[in-house]
Structure 1
Amino acid sequence: MNTIKILAALSVAGLVAGCNPMGGGSGQKASANLESRSGSSVKGDVQFVWQGSDVMVTARVSGLKPNSEHGFHVHEKGDCSAPDAMSAAGHFNPDGKAHGSPGSSHSHSGDLPNLKADANGNANYSAKVHGITVNTGPAGIVGRSVVIHRDPDDYKSQPAGNSGPRLACGLIRST
């Protein structure tokens, strides 16, 4: 009888795994509280929600230069302790790809679309991204950091898009 129960459990587990062969998520969430770095007054919060094979990234940010554009990336380490946020290391890049436009076949997993501030220096951001997951797996962002840079990402310069100093940094945590 125990063998039958074990086989039944394995069969159910196989069916559940088979329903999602891409390893997509079903609503897992994470967030980051952005704290000012490099003498800036930039702050805000970022939300990550896993939706199938994509992650919806939303953010509310204040303290930016009015009508400005900023590089916005997931970084390798979940460490924002340095005054300039260099403790967060480089862009999250588990596949060892070149830096490039988000969503292209030639980009780091941590490359996100630029963040754009309004006339008051605030940004309400929303982007659907591919190549990251909301967990601690190989493409997972939980335990890493998210960073806002002073300048826009040019999506060409290697290895990080020439985005300049890091204005804000936040640790990404499961919610």
Structure 2
Amino acid sequence: MRHRFDGRAFRALIATAACSVALSGCGLIFQNHEKRADAMLQPTPGNATRGTVTMIERADGVQVSYSFTDMPPNSDHALTVHERSDCIAVNEQDTSPVFALPSERRKPSSRLEGELGNIHADPTGAATGFIVATDVSLDGVRSVISRAIMLHREAMDPYALAPHNVGPALACGVIRR
């Protein structure tokens, strides 16, 4: 018995296979790709503090997860993002300004976008946790990519009306994708 080749059935089979392959690729295209950035903070001259910061953009803001070691025990420190990616400056006067949009910088006594918050070192000098930063992003005009992130000697006073004096940086790194 001889089988007859049906071209229409073969074309339908090929079309079905092609659609299946194309649609399986759609899962990769339409997956939720999270925006993520990381920074390795190294000690500034005369300090031992070091750590890592991971930033993941979420619906409610950027989740800034941190882990630091070799901090002064039982102390509070400000975590800030600065305009430029300069980690060479050794004191507060030499560092670039805290990151802020020009419109926010003109407002007196306003909190700047780059002022992420304060963190607390435990009795061993370590700090691990996260902050949700609602005023920054990982792309667009509020992007912190390629900017310096610094852990400062002092904590920010959330009630201060003047610019915050948080002292020199203990550690600094550059935020990278």
Aligned residue among 67, 77, 85 for 1:70 = 77
Identity of aligned residues (%): 29
Tell me the number of residue pairs that the alignment of Structure 1 and Structure 2 aligns: 143
Aligned mates of 2:108, 2:65 — CA distance in 1 = 22
**Which residue does the alignment assign to 2:44?**
37
Give, in angstroms, the shift of residue 162 of structure 1.
Answer: 1.5
SS at match of 1:59: strand
**Which residue does the alignment assign to 2:117?**
113
TM-score (structure 1 length as normaliser): 0.74
Q: Which has the larger radius of gyration?
A: 2
Query: Which runs of 5 or more residues in structure 2 are unaligned?
Result: 1-31
RMSD: 2.1
* Map 1:1-175 → 2, pairs under 5 A: 27-84=34-91, 88-94=95-101, 95-97=103-105, 106-135=110-139, 137-155=140-158, 156=160, 158-159=162-163, 161-174=164-177
Which stretches of structure 1, 4 residues or more, deviate above 2 A after TM superposition? 81-88, 95-100
Q: 1:31 to 1:48 in 2, by over 3 A?
A: same
Query: Which runs of 5 or more residues in structure 1 are unaligned?
Result: 1-24, 101-105
Q: Is the 8 A contact 1:70 1:115 kept in 2?
A: yes
Aligned mates of 2:117, 2:68 — CA distance in 1 = 15
TM-score (structure 2 length as normaliser): 0.73
Aligned mates of 1:157, 1:73 — CA distance in 2 = 17
Give, in angstroms, the shift of residue 51 of structure 1.
Answer: 0.5
Q: Is the 8 A contact 1:80 1:87 kept in 2?
A: no
SS at match of 2:35: strand
**Which residue does the alignment assign to 2:20?**
none
Q: Is the 8 A contact 1:85 1:168 kept in 2?
A: no
Q: Is the 8 A contact 2:90 2:168 kept in 1?
A: no
